[in-house]
A and B are shown apart, each in its own frame.
Chain A
């Protein structure tokens, strides 16, 4: 989806050696997906603002020594983008392995087992083990809400929940505290979720969460499935209104 108007100028670029034309203002990720070129992402979700945090969508651009996040880089005339290379493959694997090592993603006993974007990403990137030592941190599970649960063990800090809460629901109940490995999702001023005065209980955060960090209570192993397709429609309707 794009908010670019139809009068926008057209530009041409190359992605993986393929000549592609797009409208100016479109991101590399948008254009790649429109052309069935797969770039892996975790923090990106259509309908939410671009975050650029997970770094899985990093691509190479000819003439630039550094890597660029495809979700946050707009296409430019004559750009030559490479979405896959041994270097990118290795970095993407490392990123996902570090996510696994950072917290406690015990897939076998997770409610999202079989429906998890992190688990699927490991399959996609052929990660059969994690080369970094696991940290095994002791983390909290917030069970205080009547029908939703936040399990910090499974969180990858993609902040999709924070964005959907602020941008779509307009509640901004969720936010992030701390820095680095100590960063964590919080409610209001770091209060138990069930005591939040601002949470509307809409459940959007649960549905956009890629892992088993935000779930419906009462679900057993593998029972938690998510629906994210409502988001682009909500955003479309808003754009049509404004």
Chain B
């Protein structure tokens, strides 16, 4: 999308989440058309450009910070965004992705890739089974976004209702700081 106007620019990012927050964003339904008239969406799982833009007014981040790639993305988001919103419980609290934090990574990998293998692997085979190359390494803990970068606004909810997302976006576009807890809560 090319932006020749001075409309606010928006990005949305999907880290370690289930995409439910983006589904909720899609649930804006016909309001998406209104939104498209108010802002330019430069980067999102639902638009084409793969690289995060050099400068964005407002970025919505879904998901916890689980892998080194998530952390890398979070830092780029912060450096390139004027305003960052933690969208949904995973970004705000860690939520379900953080439920792995009760175990250490080696036990997790054994559970996922070794214990459930059809044939019990030898120690050499075990190494080959674990996802230690190509995919981004898991961090010791999945953490909320604000534990790694500064967050400007928190919109909890699992997922935050479309009405809550609409309320927060329109309030911000009108130059007001919304009280997200008036429209959502943890686990909503």
Contact = CB atoms under 8 A, between A and B. Distances in A.
Co-assembled chains A and B:
yes
A128 to B, nearest CB: 4
Contact of A123 (B96, B101, B102, B181): B181
Interface in A113-130: 113-114, 119, 122-123, 126-130
B181 to A, nearest CB: 5
A110 B187 CA distance: 8
User: DSSP majority for the B interface?
Assistant: mixed
B187 A119 contact: yes
User: DSSP majority for the A interface?
Assistant: loop
A91 interface: no
Contact of A107 (B99, B146, B154, B158): B158
B161 interface: no
Contacts of A110: 187
A60 to B, nearest CB: 25
Contacts of B63: none
A195 B35 CA distance: 59
Interface string A89-119: 0000000000010001111111001100001
Contacts of A107: 89, 158, 185-187
Interface in B42-62: none
A107 B141 CA distance: 19
Q: Which of A126, A136, A138 is the most central at the interface, judged by chain B CB atoms within 10 Å of its CB?
A: A136
B67 to A, nearest CB: 17
B143 A128 contact: no
Contact of B181 (A108, A128, A136): A128
A104 B99 contact: yes
A129 B86 contact: yes
A218 interface: no
A139 B98 CA distance: 14
5 contacts: A106-B98, A106-B99, A107-B185, A138-B103, A139-B102
Interface of B: 86, 89, 92-96, 98-99, 101-103, 141, 143-144, 146-147, 151, 154-156, 158, 179-181, 185-187
Given A119-B186, A136-B98, 5 more contacts: A108-B187, A114-B187, A122-B185, A129-B146, A134-B94
